[in-house]
Amino acid sequence: MNSEKGNYFEWVYQVVREIPAGRVTSYGAIAHYLGLKSGARMVGYAMNAAHSSPDVPAHRVVNRQGLLTGKHHFANSTRMEELLLDEGVRVENDQVLDFPTRFWDPEKELES
DNA sequence: ACCGTGACGAGAT
DNA sequence: CATCTCGCCACGG
């Protein structure tokens, strides 16, 4: 039933899908929101699997520094930066500018 | 069944 | 303030 091991990947996708354009969040924030307290890494893993889910804007998920750590996992290393820039998120040197303001905390903004 | 690796994070040095 | 180490857990070889 609920005991499916990979089911938690869906939880991550669900949250990521709720990220509004022009905003970004961190792996740890999602992990913490889902209760995967130390699962920040697992969230990154889920993102890797999200490769098969077109509805998962993984480009809106960055590390806690606001750094595009996962840009290398996209079709091209610049794809993530382009997608963010297209949504109004300014990126420089693989880092999101004004990150604290762009930060979208699921636990705070989505608290449902 | 064992080991290494990894889109992270926080604490310690 | 920069760097290192550990923890966490899933998955491939």
Which residue ranges form the domains of chain A, and what is each CATH number?
2-102 (1.10.10.10)
Strand C atom within 7 Å of A40 CB? yes
Q: Is the CB of A54 under 7 A from strand C?
A: no
Q: What is the mean pLDDT of each run of 10 residues along chain A (112 residues)?
A: 65 95 97 86 94 91 96 93 97 95 93 65
Residue whose CA is minimally distant from B10 C1': A38
For strand B, is any atom closer than 7 Å to the CB of A70? yes
- Single-letter amino acid code for the residue at A14: Q
pLDDT on residue A2: 44
- A60 and A23 in contact (C-beta within 8 Å)? yes
* Predicted pLDDT at A26: 97
Predicted pLDDT at A96? 96
pLDDT at position A80 is 95
Task: State the pLDDT at residue A39.
Answer: 85
